[in-house]
Amino acid sequence: MVRSGRYTRLNVYLLILSVLQLNLHTVEGVWPLPQAFTSSTERYPLNPQAFYFGYGRQSAAQQGCSVLDSAFRRYFSLIFPDYTDGVDALSNLLPVCVLDNLSVSAGQASLKAETVWGALRGDYNQYILKDMYKQRVNKSYFINKTEIEDFPRFQFRGILLDTSRHYLPVQAILKTLDAMAYSKFNVFHWHIVDDPSFPYQSSSFPDLSSKGAFHPMTHIYTQSDVRRVISHARLWGIRVLPEFDSPGHTTSWGKGQPGLLTPCYNGGTPSGTFGPVNPALPSTYQFMARLFKEVSSVFPDSYIHLGGDEVDFSCWKSNPDVRAFMQKMGFGSDFTKLEAFYMENIVNITSALNKTSIVWQDVFDYHERIPKDTVLHIWKGIPAKYQEELSRITKAGMRVLLAAPWYINHISYGQDWRNYYTVQPQNFSGTEEQKKLVIGGEVCMWGEYVDATNLSPRLWPRASAAAERLWSDEKQTSNVDKAFPRLQDFRCKLLRRGIQAEPLYVGHCKHEYQGV
């Protein structure tokens, strides 16, 4: 499911990295936990003025790779948060993509990866940063010898943001992408439209946003805004997965597209209200084909999320034209067959555009005929229920994403991150082959009670608990109490990087009194 090649196993060797003055275990503060991590007390000085990135002679990529050219410019201020004199000299640094040597004062470091994305996620900045945040003596940095081998457990590690229930300014989305990268999330699931508003500005159907957004000028995402988000995400190694959910969750669509939604009836007369998209009209599929053709060109990812959840059948049942269509098609009074008919047509439209579909689990539950490469997204239920669903979907040979235990918009008093941390995505009844069909998971931040004022503290560092579950070895990260000090330290690191992450419990961050 990964654009620009798979996230294959990568080997990262960081020699002489991570500042250390106190005899502390070096893994503290590194999040998510690497697959293998060893460190010695041998240490060397690191001079910011002499620090540079150098090309390895055998590197497949050289200067001009925009992803890591940009990354290395970011990393300088992350690696040396208290050093500003050298920032203007960044143009003299040598940016690299897949590097063999990192020249660091008295020593050197090397990072080896199979892809540019692996090099980007090698995350040398975190290993260097770890103790730099803790100790700085006379503006001198010290680094210790470290070796890491790391690779992700799951290929899909996503965050969903809902920009329909509350509009999120582009800057809030970009800041979330930054924070996602720090926790090694790699998919931004953009639930861009829904019942309350339609903020996506379509060039083919401009009335969708001009009449369906909260405000036609201020609360929309222009084509330029979307390109900006996609470009920013790419530089962080993050894919942008758009979702245009239908046939339900489409109230806002109807404001700008007359005839799209189903008229509801009260007895034998129209009630003046509307329900889901009308699946009985040819014009519906003509509209959808045109809209998804545009969406497919605006969002380059090879996957698209088509929704398909929570369809209320009551309006369809009330409409005489819909009932007549069902009889004509031989559906009888089974409205799940009508939804299946609709979703199969939408999936075929996007398949013709060379897009692979992701749909919510409802589509599978209604026994809809969809391509075998469609990904099912589990969102319902307590552990026993979603484990049963994992077993059923994978037994049918379908790939699956797990979101049900990570609806992080639900809040409770105390350390609820512990619940997110102890999720076991492959703990269900099934063969090893079935468990391989679980390709990852997703943290969902639905927007009923979330806007730009509380997005970051509600999301971070709670989402980071799921991030480690999706990246790290489950056996090595099974102890919540042992994870707590690392996550607490990582939360402080997020604050230093400008992410307003809420506290996990009583305490403080050491940088709060630096300079006092």
Q: List, in order, residues 6 or more apart from 83 with CB less than 8 Å away.
A: 48, 139
**pLDDT above 60 (res 69):** yes
- Distance separating alpha carbons of residues 257 and 281, to the nearest angstrom: 14
Evaluate if residue 125 carries a pLDDT over 60.
no
Structure tokens at 10: 């990568």
Asked if 421 and 469 touch (Cβ cutoff 8 Å), the reply is yes
480-496 and 170-182 helices cross at what angle (nearest 10)?
130
Alpha carbons 450 and 472: distance in angstroms, whole number: 29
Nearest 5 degrees, angle CA 120-CA 113-CA 9? 100
124 confidence band (pLDDT: 50, 70, 90)? low
**Mean pLDDT calculated for residue range 490-496:** 92
Separation of alpha carbons 95 and 77, rounded Å: 14
- Give the Cα separation of 372 and 377 in Å (integer): 14
Residues 428, 438: Cα–Cα separation, whole Å: 11
Dihedral angle over CA of 31, 32, 38, 42, nearest 10: -20
| Average pLDDT over every residue of 128-151 | 59
pLDDT recorded at residue 110: 72
> pLDDT band at residue 29, thresholds of 50, 70 and 90?
low
53: pLDDT confidence band, cut at 50, 70 and 90?
low
* Percent over 90 (pLDDT), the chain: 67
Which residues, other chains included, contact 187 with Cβ-Cβ below 8 Å and sequence gap of 6+?
Answer: 156, 157, 158, 159, 238, 239, 241, 440, 442
Going by their DSSP bridges, the two strands 101-104 and 107-109 should be labelled as antiparallel
Q: b/e string for 390-428 if b means 16 or more Cβ within 10 A? A: bebbbeeebbbbbbbbbebbeeeeeeebbbbbebebbeb
102 CB-near residues (< 8 Å, 6+ apart) = 14, 53, 54, 108, 109, 110, 111, 124
Q: Give residue 63's pLDDT.
A: 74
Q: Count the alpha carbons within 13 Å of 137 in the hemisphere toward its beta carbon.
A: 10
pLDDT given for residue 78 in this prediction: 78
Q: What is the pLDDT of residue 71?
A: 80
Q: Give the confidence band of 38 by pLDDT, cuts at 50, 70, 90.
A: confident
Q: What share of the chain is helix, strand, coil (3-state, %, to 5)?
A: 40, 20, 45
Q: What is the mean predicted confidence (pLDDT) over 84-101?
A: 40
Judged on CB neighbours under 10 Å (0-12, 13-18, 19+), 377 is buried
Q: In the 8-state DSSP scheme, what is residue 449?
A: T
pLDDT in tens, 210-245: 999 999 999 999 999 999 999 999 999 999 999 999
pLDDT at residue 316 tops 60: yes
Q: What is the pLDDT of residue 115?
A: 82
d(CA 103, CA 487) in angstroms, rounded, equals 30
Query: Averaged over 158-173, what is the pLDDT?
Result: 98
**CB < 8 Å & 24+ apart, contacts of 381-390:** 387/427, 387/428, 387/429, 388/428, 389/361, 390/425, 390/428, 390/430, 390/438
Higher pLDDT, 510 or 461: 461
Catalytic residue among 310, 339, 389, 432: 310
Tell me, what's the pLDDT at 54? 59
Confidence of residue 10 (pLDDT cuts 50, 70, 90): very low
What single-letter DSSP state applies at residue 510? G
> Residues 336-388: pLDDT tens digits?
999 999 999 999 999 999 999 999 999 999 877 889 999 999 999 999 999 99
Report the pLDDT averaged over residues 480-493.
Answer: 94
**Average pLDDT along the chain:** 85
pLDDT of 373: 94
Q: Confirm whether 310 is a catalytic residue.
A: yes
The pLDDT of residue 119 is above 80: no
Question: CA 295 to CA 304: how far, in whole Å?
Answer: 9
- Give the C-alpha separation, 228 to 120, whole Å: 20
Q: What percent of the chain has pLDDT over 70?
A: 82
Q: Is 230 helix (H, G, I), strand (E, B) or coil?
A: helix
Q: What is the average pLDDT across 246-253?
A: 98
